[in-house]
Chains A and B, each alone.
Chain A
Amino acid sequence: MSDVLLEMRGITKTFPGVKALDDVSFSVRRGEIHALVGENGAGKSTLMKVLSGVYPYGSYEGDILFEGKECQFHDIRASERQGIVIIHQELALVPELSITENIFLGNEQQTNGVISWGASHDRARKLLKRVGLDESPDTKVGRIGVGKQQLVEIAKALSKEVTLLILDEPTSSLNENDSQALLNLLKEFRSKGISCVLISHKLNEVESVADSITILRDGRSIETLDATGGNVSEDRIIRGMVGRDLTHRFPEREAEIGEVLLEVEHWNVAHPIYDDRMVIKDISINVRAGEVVGIAGLMGAGRTEFAMSVFGHSWGRFVSGTVKKRGVPIDVSTIPKAIKNGVAYVTEDRKTYGLVLGSSVKTNITMANLDGVSNGLVVSDPKEIQVANRYRDQLQIKSSSVLQSTVNLSGGNQQKVVLSKWLFAEPDVLILDEPTRGIDVGAKFEIYTIVNRLAASGKAIILISSELPEVLGMADRIYVMAAGEIAAEMPVAEASQESIMKAIMRLNRAGVEEVVL
């Protein structure tokens, strides 16, 4: 038995007009955690799809050797039979089915087509124990949080006798605790001889758990770093990913902070279904002109719910509270009214809530302010194209023209289109919810620059982010949210990752249950 579990040699995969992978080599040793990093579009997912048979043998060039044997996978089932299991970023679980049913979906514990529920539940229970998930196997998957769903996915992978587990951005929607638990689980698997390929944008995680790190850039494998000694720094990885040193991850800004622009006072919101459950409890915040205010907190702290309820009561059932702009109360009870009063909300989920993907860049940009390119009734084509081109140039949206459909744009460019839409609505207050989620390092810097420019132009920015370095690097002042309340408020000079986490823990320890949506 050799030390090398998987070897991919000279993999080249072309799509019409694009070479997604160009002579990529990638090898994984037995019992290691191997991180695969690179900017969006570098080819990470494509490489894993080649490996797992999503792109069948014959549609790419190059060889795959697994456990020393050459493999020709024609579909996912073929690779799963060899013990290669991939867990995608978007979880493939059926919310209405139980944990047991999900674990054995497509692989039912059966004799002659009749499912043995006893055996299924029994095995499910054992698998759940292995991944450390304390839930009844009868529970519907839709009832448990994302972190636990992730564990169900892993249990499902284990049920298939996995030898190589591939995780695509497994922690992108997990809070710090769940992320840590997941990473610990990977370490445990490593000790049992299961290898993991970890695709992640969170370089601090990569740094802490990976044994080797392979960097892809523009469809080529740039280098593989040995990280067993923990001697590879984040900066070193970033240098490999972008091909240059990124001296500052956050652009410099001289804050010119003016009057208080927006105040939210004693804001209370109940759950949309369970009326008696308060999700947002007596929150009061304010933001000044030219100021970037960060809202830090864990997943489920109620940040998105708070922001959306301020933006036209678009989440939950409004209970009480007032919003003032420049000291005067404003009506934000519907989205059109909120927009008219100068409030804009850039969603954390651009594909589901931000864009009409089938429509063009131009159509998306003008969607929230059609009055700005029409006489109220008829849209003026020339005006609309001018507006779209203006934002395309300003924000450097990379597209063939403003008529290109947004579905084909990269994540960073899609985010710029969503930003353009809200900039064109000319708000005074811009609420940005996880504006850089799933965006690569280079595009992040561009988004930060835009945010700073907006603040400099006198707008008030509320920045919601789960990435603490982002909040610390961008904000002038930070609110910490936990369990639907403001746990702390601090100027950025006094804030640190530790002080923020401490504030959260202090409130969470007060015995408030985690909010599950």
Chain B
Amino acid sequence: MTAAPDPATPAPVKATGAAGELLHFFRSNARQYGMLVALVVAVAIFQVATNGIMLKPLNVTNIFLQNGYIVLMALGMLLIIVVGHIDLSVGSVAAFTGAVAAVLMVNQHMDPIVASLVALGIGALIGAWQGFWVAYMAIPSFIVTLSGMLLFRGLTLFMLNGQPVGPFPGSFRAIASGFLPDPFGGDGLKLSSLILAGVLSALVVYIDFRGRREEHKYGFESQPIYLFIARNVGIVAGIMFLAFLMSQYEGLPNVLVLVLALTGLYIFVTNRTVVGRRIYAVGGNAKAAMLSGVNSKRLVFLTFVNMGVLAALGGLVFAARLNSATPKAGNGFELDVIAAAFVGGASAYGGVGTVLGAVIGALFLGVLNIGMGILSIGIDYQQAIKALVLLGAVYFDVSSKRKAG
């Protein structure tokens, strides 16, 4: 299901004929598809501008390798923003947990799996620390996490003595730079990756189909059948195309598999579970949620714990990718992560935003990075362009809401 948990369907407007139907559908779903369309357009523009280098297998693979950790953290940030808060500390938390893992693995020779679990646990504790101040002591999250940003950056420096620590054992590095194993041993195409993509496609189509059947059963207005088919064909084609490209290189990166699994999990949590529903309720109207029996403090606390774990996960992936933990790791991540959520349609006022939107937002920013990198656009321009994209995306969101409301 790609729909927001709450598709605020406007009162149906009588449209005449298929054209009217089509127009109406696009108008009422502009926000949902706008970002996806923008992503495809951006890729197309770079593909032309780079004379076809953009969609070379290596570059497609790199988009996911270089942005996996941003996407992972964006999943947590989306929930934080929806529940009505912000977390500025994720970059520092990622650096700190990466540093902890590095010291344990490299200096103490701890088993990578145990060290990673310890790092994730510390992420949870950090989230609990910040969540405690935000939820139970009612300190604004901006202040608490600004403090956290400084605190954990300081602790990172302390942990690492100001020096990078590395390299990591190979098994740990595989999280970030490894690829899905290919037992079929094909020389050209990586078959296991293609099979996984096929399974994923089937799953997406199945879920979409089931949703449509339900819509029919309850007599809701659903999109015209040809659009439904076109959409599913488009999604499957997109997935298989990307998988095919990556199979020509090393196959699906492990990070991508992790990102896909967690994205699926969080889409499910936000759309279908009681906890997800309550997060949106608290973000939409905290007082009403409280008077409906929602323990909003505990909920805010838990979203921060969740964010801490995901920031730690992002920190591990980033450290593994660099093959060392550095004092400056994760500098500015918070901005990319927050931008991803907002570009993906989350509202700064809380209560609105989708997991899929945040993921697409993160990928959109990633595509901009890679595309501009290939074009050798200077870092100065890159920053400026990204800044304007963020502003433009939020403006689009606000203005489309104004029209709808």
Binding site for B on A (CB under 8 A): 17, 311-312, 314, 334-336, 338-339, 345, 347, 352-360, 363, 366-368, 370-371, 374, 376-379, 381-382, 385, 389, 400-401, 403-405, 407-408, 421, 425
A345, A358, A367, A378: the one contacting B273 at CB < 8 Å is A378
The 4 closest A-B pairs by CB, nearest first: A405-B8, A356-B284, A368-B292, A356-B285
Contact A381 B288 (CB under 8 A): no
Closest chain-A Cβ to B295's Cβ sits at a distance in Å of 7
Report how far A311 CA is from B278 CA in the complex, Å: 20
Contact A356 B288 (CB under 8 A): yes
A-binding segment of B111-119, B212-220, B224-232, B307-315: B212-220
Residue ID in chain B nearest A350 by CB atoms? B288
Residues of chain B lying within 8 A (CB to CB) of residue A359: 6, 8, 280-281, 284, 351
Place the interface of chain B in its size category.
35 or more
Residues of chain A lying within 8 A (CB to CB) of residue B18: none
Contact B284 A382 (CB under 8 A): no
Closest chain-B Cβ to A133's Cβ sits at a distance in Å of 31
Contact B9 A404 (CB under 8 A): yes
Report how far A382 CA is from B274 CA in the complex, Å: 15
Which positions 264-294 of chain B face chain A at CB distance < 8 Å?
Answer: 272-275, 277-278, 280-281, 284-285, 287-294
Q: Is B185 an interface residue (CB 8 A)?
A: no
Max chain B CB contacts within 10 Å: which of A336, A352, A356? A356
Contact B284 A358 (CB under 8 A): yes
Residues of chain A lying within 8 A (CB to CB) of residue B214: 381-382
B11, B218, B220, B281: the one contacting A408 at CB < 8 Å is B11
Contact B9 A353 (CB under 8 A): no
Residues of chain B lying within 8 A (CB to CB) of residue A389: 218
Closest chain-B Cβ to A231's Cβ sits at a distance in Å of 42
Known: A335-B292, A354-B288. 5 other contacts (CB 8 A): A345-B291, A352-B287, A367-B277, A405-B6, A408-B10
Contact A400 B274 (CB under 8 A): no
Closest chain-B Cβ to A359's Cβ sits at a distance in Å of 5
Contact B12 A400 (CB under 8 A): yes
Contact A335 B290 (CB under 8 A): yes
Q: Is B352 an interface residue (CB 8 A)?
A: yes
Contact B291 A377 (CB under 8 A): no
Q: Is B7 an interface residue (CB 8 A)?
A: yes
Contact A358 B291 (CB under 8 A): no
Contact A355 B9 (CB under 8 A): no
A–B Cβ pairs within 8 angstroms, 16 of them: A311-B291, A336-B295, A339-B293, A357-B285, A359-B280, A363-B281, A377-B273, A377-B274, A381-B214, A381-B272, A389-B218, A400-B11, A401-B220, A403-B8, A403-B9, A405-B6
Report how far A238 CA is from B231 CA in the complex, Å: 53
Contact B6 A17 (CB under 8 A): no
Contact A379 B351 (CB under 8 A): no
Contact B293 A360 (CB under 8 A): no
Residues of chain A lying within 8 A (CB to CB) of residue B274: 370-371, 374, 376-379
Residues of chain B lying within 8 A (CB to CB) of residue A339: 293
Report how far A371 CA is from B351 CA in the complex, Å: 21
